Amino acid sequence: MRSVIQRPRWRRSAVAAATSTLLVGAVLVAAQPVATGLASPAAPAPPPEIADQVPQLPEAGVTSARAEVTASGGGARVASTQQVCASGAKWLRLRVTQLSLRGNDSVTLTGSAGGTFTLTADHWPGKAFHTRAFEGDCVRVSPNLTDPGSRFAVDSYQSGTQSLALATATVAAVGDVCGSSCNQTAPVVKNMNPQALILAGDNAYSSGTLTEYKNYYDPYYGQFKAITYPTPGNHEYNTSGASGYFDYFGTRAGERGKGYYSFDVGDWHFVALNSNISRSSTSTQVSWLKNDLAANTKPCTAAFWHHPRFSRGDHGDDTSVTAFFQALYDAKADLVVVGHDHNYQRFAPSRPDGTKDTVNGVRELLIGTGGRGFYNFNQSSAATQEAGNASTFGVAKLTLSASGYRHDFVPVAGRTYTDTVSGQCKKAATAPDFTVGATPSSVGLKPGGSASVTVNVGSTAGFSAATSLSVSGLPSGVTGTISPSSVTPPANGSASATLTLSASTSAPNGSATATITGTSGTVSHTAQVTVSVSSTVGDAFFDDFETDKGWQVNPLADDTATTGRWERGDPEQTAEAGNGQIKQLGDTTSGVNCLVTGRLAGASDGANDVDGGKTSIASPTFTVPTGAKLSFTYNFAYGNNSSTSDYLRVKVLEGSTATTVFERLGQSSVAVPGQWQAAAVDLAAFAGHSVRLLVETADASTASLVEAAVDDVRVSVG
């Protein structure tokens, strides 16, 4: 909103502002996320909470940080690969905030040291969620999007410094609790220090009223409320609608009247079900369960509710929950925890009819030992009981890894009965195997130059054998040597080698997709890397805007700004009415022209500033060489009526996939004057890629004074 019409001119030979260096492509330094260009030396800000997401429980030794990866569909296949990396990490888990895939579109995620998973339209439509963990310090994100309506976005990640095979989470499980002896089992839970406590119902006797929860349950188990994930039992429903249960646990119990929900801990997906309401194969609850299981991306699955499908106690087998068991069996779930009979029982992995099935069967654990009087074993069961005890209070300790579980029945003080069993998750890798990864996935070099690629061999399911490495398919004039030529990863760990690429002085310009092959015995796996040779010396791209080099306004056809659109030209100085603060500078950092949002001053300070939303402009296409950095100067000024919705952003655009590499935001109640500043951005993640630079500015909330300019854009090596 401008009032100054005068246009004084001056030139500067240097920019006084300090250069800010930002890394891109979600590549990290010192475990700081920088995909958005927002990294700082301080600890990374945790990702924001999202209301509609599958909860991922906190874990000891796991850190969260921000990263931005986005992709959208277009008329042709979108296959540009992006990466999220954390220096020193042994594994990463991405948080997907948008997964709207149409038709056969997909997004494939691959760990740099092992593991791959393809996301499809079935996976958590409309919800944010965390993926399974991927081994290594990077995750490659490879979209295959052809439908213009497909969308994909990642806003953060979790990482751990302990190998994925050794990283575990602890969940305590118990049912039929406060009776008279839950004062004995509560210390058992406390000693486990679990990430979560799951309850298999009948938590407060004998009617689950709010008063009983407060008087009998809360004094002992209330200390765990913040980590408790409950289900109701039949005693809760002695009170109409289980109102005491829902009143006590609130939103932790799921939607009132339903009581079924799901959450994730580590690489496990847990489903809480309500066996006291409709549970037939055609019920709303079972339909929800099937959809939930189909959406799940974790390799391991457990469910818990009150009434046991199988039991040798007083109540015996309960066929009314067969539909639960069938849906879980069909989805290759691993564990079911129940209660109702007041004893401990462990069953062999079973089909829904009780037939023992060691390949696809689901193991049921009956933990009715929380503190209510015992029931004897006086019934037969269709399933095979492997262990049982009807005289010991105790709690199940579930130690969960990304590939399996260990269950321990832990007795109360003074009792000696224990039981232990372990198992592998059906959707986790079970046969020893390995993966091959390459970082970066594309490199460029000059004739006579060299470049290097890190090759990772990752072990899964205990693989530990010599793996020979070779490379083929290099461009003409380029040779490759891998050292060492054979590596042996430790079981469930990784080993690395270095591929050194050398171009002869006469190597012609060109590009090829090279294949790195790892071979162990009769098994081979590959990774690909794009290798480009370019004789271009100096800048890969430079524009001081003195001539028109073909920048395109509104390249994605999504601009909304009504004034202040980007243009190349000679800017006129403008100032804010009232305080005289300069907003649009009347100069450039070299020459006469720059990119500017509405170069003319106009008759008032609101005549030609950015209004109505976003304006964008994109550079011509160029290829990013290895070791390239982007540098530019910029001005981003705004009035005290601005907000953090206003911004200046620079993105790297591959097809229609845009990665933010630089960002400046407005502030509320703060007026920022115009000034030329310098910025530098590392483009290592885009080496060998054909890209455009996308510059965006927006007055994105209530109308405010926003001005921006960019000059001397350079992409160069060194």
* pLDDT one-digit tens code per residue, 312-361: 999 999 999 999 999 999 999 999 999 999 999 999 999 999 999 998 99
Q: How far apart are CA 531 and CA 230, in angstroms?
A: 54
Final residue before a domain boundary, out of 125, 160, 195 = 160
Q: Is the pLDDT of residue 78 over 70?
A: no
DSSP one-letter string for 69-114 = EEEE--SS-B---EEEE-TT-SEEEEEEEEEE--TT-EEEEEETTB
- Residue 685: give its domain's CATH number: 2.60.120.200
- Residue 268 pLDDT: 98
For 45-54, 309-318, 698-707, which range has the lowest pLDDT when averaged over its residues? 45-54
The model's confidence at residue 92, banded by pLDDT at 50, 70 and 90, is very high
CA 381 to chain centre: 43
Beta bridge partners of 169: 400
Domain with 114, as residue range(s), is: 31-160
My answer on whether 39 and 73 are in the same domain is: yes
Across the range 180-202, mean pLDDT stands at 97
**Mean of the per-residue pLDDT values of the chain:** 87
- Residue 228: give its domain's CATH number: 3.60.21.10
Instruction: Report the domain count for the chain.
Output: 4
pTM to 2 decimals? 0.61
My answer on whether 256 and 155 are in the same domain is: no
My answer on whether 115 and 219 are in the same domain is: no
Q: Is the pLDDT of residue 74 over 70?
A: no
- Residue 272 pLDDT: 99
Q: Is the pLDDT of residue 32 over 80?
A: no
My answer on whether 519 and 626 are in the same domain is: no
- The first and second tokens of residue 288, run together, are 């929800």
Final residue before a domain boundary, out of 484, 500, 533 = 533
My answer on whether 173 and 156 are in the same domain is: no
User: Which helix (H) or strand (E) is 682 found in, with range?
Assistant: strand 677-682
- Residue 13 pLDDT: 30
Identify whether 430 is part of a domain.
no
Identify whether 440 is part of a domain.
no
- Residue 84: give its domain's CATH number: 2.60.120
In 413-522, where do the E strands start and end?
419-424, 433-439, 442-445, 450-460, 467-472, 478-483, 486-487, 494-503, 510-520
- Residue 370 pLDDT: 97
Identify whether 184 is part of a domain.
yes
- Residue 575 pLDDT: 85
Q: How far apart are CA 454 and CA 458, in angstroms?
A: 13
Q: Is the pLDDT of residue 35 over 70?
A: no
Q: What percent of the chain has pLDDT over 70?
A: 90
Residues ≥6 apart with Cβ < 8 Å to 650: 37, 630, 632, 660, 661, 662, 663, 679, 681, 693, 694, 695, 696, 710
Q: Is the pLDDT of residue 43 over 90?
A: no
Identify whether 319 is part of a domain.
yes
My answer on whether 672 and 712 are in the same domain is: yes
My answer on whether 523 and 573 are in the same domain is: no
Residue range 366-382, pLDDT digits in tens: 999 999 999 999 999 99
Identify whether 573 is part of a domain.
yes
- Residue 50 pLDDT: 62
The model's confidence at residue 41, banded by pLDDT at 50, 70 and 90, is very low
My answer on whether 117 and 265 are in the same domain is: no
Q: Is the pLDDT of residue 688 over 80?
A: no
Across the range 272-287, mean pLDDT stands at 98
Across the range 488-499, mean pLDDT stands at 86
| Strand pairing class (82-85; 494-503) | unpaired
The model's confidence at residue 461, banded by pLDDT at 50, 70 and 90, is low
The model's confidence at residue 19, banded by pLDDT at 50, 70 and 90, is very low
Q: Within 10 Å of residue 469's Cβ, how many Cβ atoms? A: 20
- Residue 237 pLDDT: 98
More confident residue, 27 or 335: 335
Final residue before a domain boundary, out of 487, 505, 533 = 533
Beta bridge partners of 424: 404
Identify whether 572 is part of a domain.
yes
Across the range 159-179, mean pLDDT stands at 93
My answer on whether 368 and 495 are in the same domain is: no
- Residue 20 pLDDT: 27
Residue range 614-659, pLDDT digits in tens: 999 999 888 887 778 899 999 999 988 888 899 999 999 987 789 9
Identify whether 518 is part of a domain.
yes
- Residue 51 pLDDT: 60
Across the range 529-557, mean pLDDT stands at 83
| Strand pairing class (300-304; 335-338) | parallel
Torsion sign, CA atoms 709, 711, 715, 718? negative
My answer on whether 624 and 500 are in the same domain is: no
Beta bridge partners of 500: 452, 481
My answer on whether 174 and 85 are in the same domain is: no
Q: Is the pLDDT of residue 452 over 90?
A: no
Q: How far apart are CA 295 and CA 625, in angstroms?
A: 40
My answer on whether 389 and 523 are in the same domain is: no
- Residue 493: give its domain's CATH number: 2.60.40.2310
Identify whether 470 is part of a domain.
yes
